[in-house]
Structure 1
Amino acid sequence: MDDVTVNREGFEQALYSLLPTGLAGVDAARGRARLRTLVTLRWLAVAGQTAAVVVVQFILGFDMPLGLCLTVIAASAWLNVFLSFAMREQVLLKGWEATLQLAFDTVQLAMLITLTGGLSNPFLLFLLAPVTVAATSLRPRFSVIISLLAISCAALMPLSSYGLPWRTDQVFTLPPLFEWGHFAALGIGVLFFVISSARLNEDEARLVRALDAASVVMAREQRLSALGAMAAMTAHELGTPLATIHLVARELSGDLEDEDPRREDVQLIAEQAERCREILGQLSRAREAEDIVHANMPLSALVEEAAAPFKGLGVELRVTYAPGDGGEARVPMIRRSPEILHALGAFIENAVSFADSQVRAVASWTGHQFMVTITDDGPGFAAEVMPKLGEPYVSQRSEAHLGGGDMGLGFFIAKTLIERTGGRIATRNRIPPRHGAIVQAVWPRKALESLESDRMQINSPQVESESDGL
């Protein structure tokens, strides 16, 4: 049992290390932003700020420090010009470099808001913009720096802010309580954006890595299948030249005298060519038989094949099958699927690793669906882990009844593969006083049923009844 578990865990660790967007890819890209993105956003900010200042000063006719405002806006424009000449726009900025640029944008925007009313300015909430960019593209420690800077700038505004632009013949003053309400809204918004964006980014990165791992598993299965097809093609292509060699060698042997020393060598060539033909013929026949198995197989045989590597590992592993309500007596034929074999193998391995003494894999079918139920008599799923089942990187083996070792990918990959074949997974613990876990995979019949099932169904030699009270 330990050897099988270690092998699967080692395989998952190996495939994870090879992922192009794995830990070395996704996490390396996180915390960095493209210079072009920041420059483009800054040009948009410059255009929007300039338009707002022009509208307030010349269209609404409000009095404001126009020169100072345009100077602050020009500082952002000049920074963009400098960066465009000093660096390539395609460059991927390091975390601290992007943080410095966003810090400049935060201070620049805070200064413009200070010149136009401070906490009284409804555009105060625009300080969320650099915070949001930092939270979505940088690592948490950098986004925290920008968040604290934005809140600090807002807190200092009452000390040096200009009045809110208004008509020259009127005085407009907001009560301090309203201004501090603006500040509270900004602070709450900053915290919400930082926490929610960081959590969503982390979940997305974990999901991308896990899906890539599932893709690598499927690519491996497909390569193994392609290897068998290549072997069959090679056997077919070599058949003709070997037959020619054998024929020519036999003819040469007949033309040579018995005393000729070359006759023995020619006969050896003919014998070895005939031997090669026999080997290739066996390979072709084995491949043809395998193709039939790959095309269609009984549901019970599929479960047996998935469970075979885990028998004799110190735990009794029983595979049974029986029709459900409305199911025919004969075992239905289904299309053989590497995805299902890998997924069921992962579930069975997991059950064997946690079982006290027994694991049961039950295949059943009704008129509308196929079901495979895997049950063990181990400790069952921990209550705190049940809501997380199916998520990638749930790796607490002491808490979770999951496979995949420290990776926490085993259950996720298996569940993903089942869903790709049109099925769904249900998990639960057995009803007390029984103990243990139950994993059930369910597919609509049309998702797996063989196109030849009506003509190729076989009689079940023994249909075992189940009364385990699952």
Structure 2
Amino acid sequence: MSSMLDFSDEPDPASRQRQLAGLLGGAAGPGRIRLQTVSLMRWIATGGQLFAILFVHYSLDIRLPLLAMLPAVALVALANGALLIAYGSKARISERVSAMLLGGDIVQLCYLLLLSGGLQNPFAILLLLPVTLAAATLGRVEIVVLTGLSLLGAACLALFPGQLPWRDGSLTLPPLYLLASWTALSMALILIAVFAWNSAEEVRRHAQALAATQLALAREQKLSALGGQAAAAAHLLGSPLGTINVIAKELVRELPADSPLMVEAGELLEQAHRCREILATFGRQRDDSEHQAFTTAPLSTLLEGIAEDCARPGVEFEVRLDFVDDRDEPDLVLSPELRHALTNVINNALQFAAAEVLITVRPSRQGLTLVIEDDGPGFSPQILDWLGEPYVSSRRDNGGMGLGVFIAKTLLARTGAKIEFSNRIKGARVTITWPAAAVQGLNEETAYGGPNV
């Protein structure tokens, strides 16, 4: 029984990191880049280089130094093949190894361009490819190093352009054109690296925050499952315990007072009564908030319970009903997801309020609106438009990361709700709106005993 009802503590950080890595498909681990991804890009680049060199040399009749260029292409192809044979296409490589491979590609491309006109060669634009791939997959240090290497290569190609091979011999473009080409390429390298890294980092942050949300919901689902198992066990054990109780009573009544078995029979009857009392508690209303989550009640009553759990000294709260039409207040069961989201929003209001928090429930034919207002400092105008995004918080100084509001917004969105943040003359206002169809969905979840997960 102890192995089935395991209420162990939270997993250690290493275990949590492994769980996040699993949810993110291995992206949280040290070797998160598949060799096949880097290898495929290098095969495409190598094939393109070989085709371009041979096409220009033989079809366009522009003489290129093949004896100097083809070995450089072959070297990259051999190195790529050797890596695949040694480690396999499914292997994952570290960011440092991936950066070294991309750095080698940059050096090889600069060498080919140096032999074919430098920045006068239109294929110099290909210097953007390794930097873009690095910005999308690697860390900040590796991106800075590879971008710097590309900028250094572009500068060398601008300073030592050589002559551009042409049909009539060679072609030399004006220095002003080379300066403009170098400026444009350098700006493109920096801007694309910054933009690609910021975009990839935002995706990674969203993935990590959603993974953390999934872990929290998985824990809630496990607790719900354990509660169901406990209720089933209480029901199944009722009949055997009733039989034991009847037999124990008969033994106590039939045995002589001086029988040596009287003490054991009395103990058996007492323990049977105790078991029945313990099983009976599974059906009683507990003060524990996790048991309250499965109680059907008017929404205003449920919100009062949440506010009482989050209350702090010196701050009063009021839950007010505002009827727009003849629509009644819904009776709901707050699922773990919805309870977590509402608790986060109400707790934030109580923590920032100076003296009062007002919670207004406004049912109508158009849907259900919930307004949480406080008399605190309000939201910072600098982050008001970004609230609900991960790592955006007005409590950075206190270690706040903004994940609580992000998780609450995500969980509310799953119920069909829309959340809006705004400021009053004094204080903050959070408005949560469910359209009529979403309210009907909440009522159906209540009727069937909770959400389908």
Cα shift readout 1:57-108 (whole Å, capped 9, x = no counterpart)? 2222221112111122112123224434555554443333322221111010
Aligned partner of 1:441 in structure 2 is 432
Q: Give 1:210 shift.
A: 1.6
Distance 2:82 2:292 in 1: 68
Aligned partner of 1:101 in structure 2 is 101
**1:216 maps onto 2:215 in alignment:** yes
1:131, 1:147 within 8 Å by CA — same for their partners in 2?
yes
Aligned partner of 1:363 in structure 2 is 361
Q: Does the residue aligned with 1:340 lie in a helix, a strand or coil?
A: helix
Distance 1:57 1:212 in 2: 53
Q: Does the residue aligned with 1:440 lie in a helix, a strand or coil?
A: strand
Distance 2:364 2:135 in 1: 50
1:236, 1:284 within 8 Å by CA — same for their partners in 2?
no
Distance 1:15 1:86 in 2: 34
**1:375 maps onto 2:373 in alignment:** yes
Aligned partner of 2:163 in structure 1 is 163
Aligned partner of 1:309 in structure 2 is 309
Number of residue-to-residue matches in the alignment = 432
1:306-345 pair list within 5 angstroms: 306-311=306-311, 313-324=313-324, 326-328=325-327, 330-345=328-343
Unaligned runs of 5+ residues in structure 1 are 1-10, 455-470
Q: Give 1:123 shift.
A: 0.9
1:191-230 pair list within 5 angstroms: 191-230=190-229
Distance 1:77 1:292 in 2: 65
Distance 1:344 1:362 in 2: 13
Q: CA RMSD in A?
A: 3.3
Q: Give 1:310 shift.
A: 2.4
Q: Give 1:271 shift.
A: 4.0
1:15, 1:216 within 8 Å by CA — same for their partners in 2?
no
2:209, 2:390 within 8 Å by CA — same for their partners in 1?
yes
2:259 alignment partner AA:
D
Distance 2:69 2:29 in 1: 36
Distance 1:16 1:443 in 2: 39
Unaligned runs of 5+ residues in structure 2 are 1-8, 448-453
Q: Give 1:218 shift.
A: 2.1
Aligned partner of 2:413 in structure 1 is 419
Q: Give 1:125 shift.
A: 0.3
Percent sequence identity over aligned pairs: 38
Distance 1:354 1:13 in 2: 31
2:97 alignment partner AA:
E
Distance 2:284 2:159 in 1: 89
2:293, 2:335 within 8 Å by CA — same for their partners in 1?
no
Aligned partner of 2:173 in structure 1 is 174
Aligned partner of 2:4 in structure 1 is none
Distance 1:187 1:293 in 2: 58
Aligned partner of 1:37 in structure 2 is 37
Q: Summarize the Cα distance change of 1:172–1:385 in structure 2 as closer, same or farther, 3 Å threshold.
A: same
Aligned partner of 2:16 in structure 1 is 18
Distance 1:172 1:282 in 2: 92
2:150 alignment partner AA:
A
2:217, 2:337 within 8 Å by CA — same for their partners in 1?
yes
Return the structure number with greater relative CO, CA threshold 8 A, min gap 6: 1
Deviates more, 1:354-363 or 1:445-454: 445-454
2:31, 2:92 within 8 Å by CA — same for their partners in 1?
no
2:383, 2:394 within 8 Å by CA — same for their partners in 1?
no
Q: Does the residue aligned with 1:165 lie in a helix, a strand or coil?
A: strand
Distance 1:452 1:276 in 2: 33
Q: TM-score, normalised by structure 1?
A: 0.82
Q: Give 1:291 shift.
A: 9.5
Distance 1:96 1:15 in 2: 25
1:272 alignment partner AA:
Q
1:62, 1:165 within 8 Å by CA — same for their partners in 2?
yes
1:124-273 pair list within 5 angstroms: 124-168=124-168, 172-253=171-252, 255-273=254-272
Aligned partner of 2:403 in structure 1 is 409
1:120, 1:174 within 8 Å by CA — same for their partners in 2?
yes
Q: Summarize the Cα distance change of 1:412–1:144 in structure 2 as closer, same or farther, 3 Å threshold.
A: same
2:417 alignment partner AA:
G
1:335, 1:448 within 8 Å by CA — same for their partners in 2?
no
2:164, 2:170 within 8 Å by CA — same for their partners in 1?
no
Q: Summarize the Cα distance change of 1:31–1:230 in structure 2 as closer, same or farther, 3 Å threshold.
A: closer
Q: Summarize the Cα distance change of 1:33–1:219 in structure 2 as closer, same or farther, 3 Å threshold.
A: closer
Q: Give 1:28 shift.
A: 5.2
2:318, 2:359 within 8 Å by CA — same for their partners in 1?
yes
2:135 alignment partner AA:
A
Aligned partner of 2:3 in structure 1 is none
Cα shift readout 1:273-313 (whole Å, capped 9, x = no counterpart)? 244234423424659xx999837432212212221202353
Aligned partner of 2:450 in structure 1 is none
**1:297 maps onto 2:288 in alignment:** no
Q: Does the residue aligned with 2:220 lie in a helix, a strand or coil?
A: helix
1:302, 1:341 within 8 Å by CA — same for their partners in 2?
no
